[in-house]
A = this chain, B = another copy of it.
Amino acid sequence: MAATETLTAERILEATEEVLRRYGPAKATVVDVARVLGVSHGSVYRHFRTKAALREAVTERWLERTIVALRPYVGAGGPADERLTEWLTALFALKRKKAGGDPELMATFQVLIGENSAVVDRHEEHLVEQIAHIVEDGHREGLFAAPERDFTTTARAVFHATDRFHNPAHAADWSAPGVEEAFTAVVSLVQRALRA
């Protein structure tokens, strides 16, 4: 049996995700994680100093997946304005799918997010940088006007303006009728604001 594999941080993170998925954020314990792995909970503490650190690492992994999923839209071909709309639409679709497909998992995720604001801040900076990259491309292509201050500030404004459509805090609104239209209207507003 492969159960005698060495205990790695990676395997612990996978088990932790599994436990969080199964029991939710309130009931998931380090002892549960150890049980899933067939080791004592002391072993888990050899890789993660605290339960909080373990949860933080899971959160980071989780958020990283979004970054990776969106990366293609940054570097893809085609005009930057279209790429921006695609990027924003992809982000919304991703979040919406997660929220709609498994509301409990989304709730779990939201709790983790609330616990790890520093990680979330760094994650948001990554996303802002992706937007900034597209906006800068758009400026070079002559599609977007020069930013009022700098690309990152403009990108952050775009990120904030679309907050309602990617921030998990608003997940409950994403199944309301008319969200599609509301999203399109905001994206359209953003496009008009950037247009040269």
Contacts and interface: CB of A to CB of B under 8 A. Distances in A.
A122 interface: no
A16 to B, nearest CB: 26
Interface in A148-196: 148-149, 153-154, 156-158, 160-165, 167, 169-170, 181-182, 185-186, 188-190, 192-194
Interface residues on A, range: 20 to 34
A162 B160 CA distance: 8
A163 B189 CA distance: 14
A164 B186 CA distance: 13
Nearest to A182: B160
19 contacts: A148-B185, A156-B182, A156-B185, A157-B185, A157-B186, A157-B189, A158-B189, A160-B182, A161-B162, A161-B190, A163-B164, A163-B170, A164-B164, A169-B169, A189-B190, A190-B193, A192-B193, A192-B194, A193-B193
